[in-house]
C-alpha cells in the first residue's frame, strides 16, 4: 500500500507559505482530490516521491523531458556551464549556437528571440503581431491554453462572434474586448469573426495539436484553412508550439502538417526542463522587435547560460537522431493499443486521442474534437481512474484536460505495466 505521510506533511507546510500550497494550480490535485505527491527525484521515466514511492511518469514535466529525466548529456552540460556562473545579463556565444540550431531544425523561421517561459513567448508574439499589423484584436480558441497573460484568460461568449468575457479576476474588460474566441476545429467560426471585424484582427493564435483540453487533433483542412484565411486577410498566424515544438518532429507541427506559420512560440523541449521560452518567425516580422524595431520586449534572464546549454544539448541530440521521433511514436501507438483493449473490455464509454508522443483518454461516448466535446467526459470517473493508477505506480496528469507526454526512456516493460494497471483500475472502478 502506497503511503503519502511525508507528502501530506509537506503540503500542510506549503499551504502556510504558498497560495494553495503549490506554484502552479494543477499541482494541487483540486480536480482529482487527495494530497499532491511531492517529488524527491527522477531518472529516465521513473519518479520517486518523498515517501520513497516510485511511479512510471507520463507527464515528463509537461513535455520537456522527451528523452527522460536527468538525461546525462544535459546534466553534464549544465554542471560544466554552472562553474562559469549562472547568469551574466550580457550576450554569450551559446545564444547564437542555439538560435542557429533552432532555425536549422525549423526551416520556416529566420530569427528567434529567447525568453523565460511559454507564457512570455505567447504574450510577446501577440504584441509583435499587433505592432507589425497596426491592429488590436486577436482570435484564440476555446480550450487552447497559451499561458496566463491577460489576453489569453478569456472564455467564449454566447456566440462565436461575441466578444469574450474575462475568465479570471484581474483581467480587465478592455483587454477582453480585444480578444475574440472561436471553436477549435471549426473554421466557419473563425471566418465569421474575421468578417465581423474587418481589418481589425492582428493575429490568430492556435495550438496546432491542442494539449490543454486533453490531446485534441486538428481536423483535416482546419490548419490549412487558417493559413489560407490569414494570408488572404493579412492576419499573422501564430502556432503555439510550446508543447509540440521539437516534440512531434525536429521542425515541430509545422513540419508534420507542412504548414508555415508566420510566428511560432516555443517552450518545454527547447529548454530541456529549464525555464525557457522563445518566439520565432520570418525576418520581415521579427525585425520589428527592439532593438531593431519599435516593438519592445526584454528580459534580464533571457538567454540564461544554464538554460541555453540545456536546450542546446537536447536539441542537438534530437537533430542528430531523428529516429527518436519514430521510436516515440511507436511507443505511444503501443500504449494506445493496450489502453484501447483495456477500455474496450471494461464497458466504460471512452475515446482515446493520440498524435505523435501525445495521448489522452476520455470517459465519453463522443469523439473529442474541441472543448465542448472534451467537456462531455465523465468527471466522476476520472478522479477514480487517476488515483487507481497512482496507487499502482502510474503518474498521470491530475486533470482530464491535460495531455499525457511520453519520453523515449519508457521501455516496453513500463508500457506493459501501465496497460495492466489500467485494466486493474477499470475493473476496480466497475466493481464499486
DSSP state of 69: B
d(C-alpha 264, C-alpha 246), whole Å: 12
| Cβ atoms 118, 161 nearer than 8 A | no
**Is 84 assigned a catalytic role?**
no
Catalytic one among 137, 140, 268, 331? 268
Cβ-proximal residues to 28 (8 Å cutoff; 6+ apart), any chain: 20, 21, 22, 36
Cβ-proximal residues to 272 (8 Å cutoff; 6+ apart), any chain: 64, 65, 71, 74, 310, 311, 313, 314
**Is 76 assigned a catalytic role?**
no
Cβ-proximal residues to 64 (8 Å cutoff; 6+ apart), any chain: 267, 268, 269, 271, 272, 273
Catalytic one among 145, 266, 312, 325? 145
Cβ-proximal residues to 336 (8 Å cutoff; 6+ apart), any chain: 352, 354, 359
Extract the C-alpha cell encoding 237: 498566424
Instruction: Please spell the DSSP secondary structure of 278-346, one letter per residue.
Output: EEEE-HHHHTTBTTTSSB----TTTT-HHHHHHHHHHHHHHHH-THHHHHHHHHHHHHHHHHHHHHHHH
**Is 132 assigned a catalytic role?**
no
398: phi then psi, degrees, rounded to nearest 5: -85, 40
Catalytic one among 49, 186, 240, 370? 240
Location of C-alpha cell 508522443: 357
Q: Give the closest residue to 164 by CA, choosing from 186, 182, 185.
A: 182
Q: Which residues are catalytic?
A: 145, 240, 268
Amino acid at each position: 500500500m502506497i503511503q503519502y505521510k511525508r507528502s501530506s506533511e509537506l503540503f500542510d507546510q506549503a499551504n502556510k507559505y504558498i497560495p494553495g500550497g503549490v506554484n502552479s494550480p494543477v499541482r494541487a490535485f483540486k480536480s482529482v482530490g487527495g494530497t499532491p505527491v511531492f517529488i524527491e527525484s527522477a531518472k529516465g521515466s521513473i519518479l520517486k516521491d518523498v515517501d520513497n514511492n516510485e511511479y512510471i511518469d507520463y507527464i515528463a514535466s509537461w513535455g520537456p523531458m522527451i528523452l527522460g529525466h536527468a538525461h546525462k548529456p544535459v546534466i553534464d552540460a549544465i554542471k560544466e556551464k554552472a562553474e562559469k556562473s549562472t547568469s551574466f545579463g550580457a550576450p554569450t556565444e551559446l545564444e547564437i549556437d542555439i538560435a542557429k540550431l533552432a532555425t536549422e531544425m525549423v526551416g520556416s523561421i529566420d530569427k528567434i528571440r529567447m525568453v523565460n517561459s511559454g507564457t512570455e513567448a505567447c504574450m510577446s508574439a501577440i504584441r509583435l503581431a499587433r505592432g507589425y499589423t497596426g491592429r488590436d484584436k486577436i482570435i484564440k480558441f476555446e480550450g487552447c491554453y497559451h499561458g496566463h497573460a491577460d489576453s489569453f484568460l478569456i472564455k467564449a461568449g454566447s456566440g462565436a462572434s461575441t466578444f469574450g468575457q474575462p475568465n479570471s479576476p484581474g483581467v480587465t474588460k478592455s483587454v477582453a474586448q480585444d480578444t475574440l474566441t472561436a471553436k477549435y476545429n471549426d473554421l466557419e467560426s473563425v471566418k465569421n469573426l474575421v468578417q465581423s471585424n474587418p481589418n481589425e484582427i492582428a493575429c490568430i493564435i492556435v495550438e496546432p495539436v491542442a494539449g490543454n483540453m486533453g490531446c485534441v487533433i486538428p481536423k483535416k483542412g482546419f490548419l490549412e484553412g487558417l493559413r489560407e484565411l490569414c494570408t488572404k486577410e493579412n492576419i499573422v498566424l501564430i502556432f503555439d508550439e510550446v508543447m509540440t515544438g521539437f516534440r512531434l518532429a525536429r521542425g515541430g507541427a509545422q513540419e508534420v502538417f507542412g504548414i508555415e506559420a508566420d510566428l511560432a512560440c516555443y517552450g518545454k523541449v527547447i529548454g530541456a526542463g529549464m525555464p525557457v521560452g522563445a518566439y520565432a518567425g520570418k525576418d520581415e516580422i521579427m525585425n520589428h522587435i527592439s532593438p531593431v524595431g519599435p516593438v519592445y520586449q526584454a528580459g534580464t534572464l533571457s538567454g540564461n547560460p544554464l538554460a541555453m546549454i540545456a536546450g542546446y544539448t537536447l536539441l542537438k541530440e534530437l537533430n542528430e537522431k531523428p529516429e527518436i521521433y519514430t521510436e516515440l511514436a511507436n511507443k505511444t501507438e503501443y500504449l494506445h493499443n493496450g489502453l484501447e483493449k483495456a477500455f474496450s473490455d471494461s464497458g466504460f464509454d471512452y475515446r482515446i486521442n493520440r498524435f505523435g508522443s501525445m495521448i489522452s483518454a476520455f470517459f465519453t461516448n463522443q469523439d473529442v474534437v474541441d472543448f465542448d466535446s472534451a467537456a462531455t467526459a465523465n468527471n466522476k470517473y476520472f478522479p477514480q481512474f487517476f488515483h487507481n493508477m497512482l496507487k499502482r505506480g502510474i503518474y498521470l496528469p491530475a486533470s482530464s484536460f491535460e495531455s499525457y507526454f511520453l519520453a523515449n526512456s519508457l521501455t516496453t516493460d513500463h508500457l506493459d505495466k501501465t496497460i495492466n494497471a489500467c485494466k486493474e483500475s477499470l475493473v476496480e472502478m466497475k466493481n464499486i
